[in-house]
Amino acid sequence: MKIPLDVMLFYGALLVWIAILAVGWRKRSFRGFLLFGVALLLVLNVRYFIEGPAKSIAFFVGIYDVLHNFGVTAGTAPEALAACPPDNRCTVWGGTYGQHPSWGVAFYQRFSEGNGVRDALLYGHVGFNSIAFVLMMWQLFRPGLGSRARPHRILGRVTLSVLLMGVACSCILAAEHGSVAHYGGDLAKYGFWFMAACVVVCAGLGYAAIRRRDVNAHRTWMFRFAGSMWGAFWLFRVMEFVLGPLLRDFDTVSILICIWFSAPLGILIAEFVRRRMPAAAGEMTHFPQAVGVSRTA
């Protein structure tokens, strides 16, 4: 049995992340949890540029293979699992698992064909969105107060520009999904466009608010923007981790739920957290205070 070290390390990182969350929950400080999540996101995304799409996707599929195959009886073929011909290359598990999430097989096959334009769009989506994610968190941890106002404003424009480039790449890629049955066809295409809209609308409304000098509305929408980004990346993956094994008898159902609901759920979670933040003189508290960082940090 081949045991891929990188998948085991990822599982170990998830356990560490859960422990950090538990400690943060007790202390009412989530700074460590957020920073660890950003670092882990970069580890996952940078490998696309080091190993290329095919190998990175095989690792990604390998993360889900364990739970998706747990309890599957030999000789059975759940609807949401599929083989990966010809040599089972779409996973890092070698011959351990012969069936994989059907969306994962389709994902691998689409980016193992050497389509230069499609690969370039994937690199653009992963790269630009990773940069936007990091800049977004930097902006939230260091709001534009006093001497930081001008750098904050400039970096905000850079963040929005990079975000739009990353989202544009993802929308072009999603336009092809109508013909990919294991993604969910047109439902997946429109779902990814809806996800992109959740992210861009929140960021755009935040930008519009600061243009009219409404600082509180700007903070509110940027908080929701952060929620949409965390939802689209991390909540999407966690939901599939849980729903995939539960719904493996129904092809595309779990992945479609993740596509359509991860970003709006991220916004709702961010709004829930925001509303529970302590108010100061009737003004919405800065994001750093919500995660255990003082105003002067």
Mean pLDDT across 67-87 = 87
Is 46 inside a domain boundary? yes
Burial class (CB in 10 A: 0-12, 13-18, 19+), 285: middle
Structure tokens at 265: 């759920």
For residue 117, the tally of other CB atoms under 10 A from its CB is 9
pLDDT, tens only, 132-180: 999 999 999 888 877 788 899 999 999 999 999 999 999 999 999 999 9
Q: With 90 as the cut, is the pLDDT of residue 19 above it? A: yes
Q: Which residues contact 104 (CB under 8 A, 6 or more apart)?
A: 57, 60, 61, 64, 90, 91
Is 279 inside a domain boundary? yes
Is 296 inside a domain boundary? no
pLDDT, tens only, 253-293: 999 999 999 999 999 999 998 888 654 333 334 454 445 44
pLDDT at 293: 44
Q: How many domains does the structure of the chain reveal?
A: 1
Q: Which residue has the higher pLDDT, 35 or 285?
A: 35
- Give the whole-angstrom CA distance, residue 296 versus residue 143: 11
pLDDT at 284: 37
Mean pLDDT across 77-82 = 92
Q: With 70 as the cut, is the pLDDT of residue 193 above it? A: yes
Domain residues for the domain of 128 are: 5-290
Is 0.75 topped by the overall pTM?
yes
Is 297 inside a domain boundary? no
Q: Which residues contact 28 (CB under 8 A, 6 or more apart)?
A: 292
Is 295 inside a domain boundary? no
- Give the whole-angstrom CA distance, residue 16 versus residue 24: 12
pLDDT, tens only, 88-114: 999 999 889 999 999 999 999 999 887
| Residue 189 dihedral angles phi and psi, to the nearest 5° | -60, -50
CB-CB contact of 28 with 292 (8 Å) = yes
Residue-by-residue DSSP string for 222-289: HHHHHHHHHIIIIIHHHHHHHHHHHTTTSTTHHHHHHHHHHHHHHHHHHHHHHHTSPPBTTBPPPHHH
CB-CB contact of 196 with 167 (8 Å) = yes
Select from 116, 159, 162, 109 the least CA-distant residue to 136.
Answer: 159
Mean pLDDT across 75-89 = 88
Is 117 inside a domain boundary? yes
- Give the whole-angstrom CA distance, residue 255 versus residue 196: 16
Distance of CA 191 to CAs 12, 119, 177, 242, Å?
31, 21, 10, 19
Structure tokens at 267: 């916004």
CB-CB contact of 90 with 104 (8 Å) = yes
Kindly state the greatest CA–CA separation across the chain.
66
